[in-house]
Amino acid sequence: MTVATEPSPVIADTPKKITKVSIVVSKGSLEGVYPGLIMANGARMEGIEANIFFTFFGLYAVMKNFQNKIRVATVGNPAMRVPSATGFPLPSILGIIPGMSAFATRMMSKEMDALDIPPVDEFIEMISDAGGHLFACKATVDMFHLTPDDFVPQMEKVLTVGDFYELAAGGEIIFT
């Protein structure tokens, strides 16, 4: 005769607190840059080490002459709705109309101003001042023929992907 026994209770592991995040920003549109900045700023406000790795067009967020010229991408964005997230969808073809990206950017900027979300240059400065670290991707820097003079002073260093992984070790990696 076999006696059934109850399994011993499994004690759930207590989740470990996140202590480090490394955020990859690869898109150069407003909706591509801000999620990384918001997450890095939030991490620093929670006492979490934050590293931002800017690559491809995301690199424009740390380039002196471009960081405050970042626009909303209106073409190829099936989620674009106006005047709000519950409004009617904006057909992608309308995004090619001259001035449409600037118009959408102004609308988005107005909403962000109302929520006291700073412009890109101020956000970068806030993150750096709070102890966040900003890095540029070496492959992209080389491909775009950039020099240290192209970047804002808060951008600390140009890293290879290998350097980035070494820096990110032991933490979470987030792609925005």
Domain ranges (residues) in the chain: 20-68+119-175, 73-117
CATH topology of domain 20-68+119-175: Hypothetical Protein Ychn; Chain: A, (3.40.1260)
Q: What pLDDT is attached to residue 25? A: 97
From first to last of the 176 residues of the chain, give the pLDDT tens digit: 555 566 655 666 777 889 999 999 999 988 899 999 999 999 999 999 999 999 999 999 999 999 989 888 877 676 776 656 666 666 666 667 777 778 777 888 888 888 888 999 999 999 999 999 999 999 999 999 999 999 999 999 999 999 999 999 999 999 98
* 136-160 confidence digits (pLDDT tens): 999 999 999 999 999 999 999 999 9
Residues 6+ apart with CB under 8 A from 73: 29, 30, 31, 32, 95, 101
d(CA 28, CA 33): 6
pLDDT number for residue 100: 75
Q: In this structure, what are the phi and psi dihedrals at residue 50, rounded to the nearest 5 degrees? A: -130, 125
Strands 172-175 and 133-137: unpaired
Peptide bond before residue 83 is cis, with ω within 30 degrees of 0: yes
Dist. CA 144–CA 4, nearest whole Å: 68
pTM: 0.82
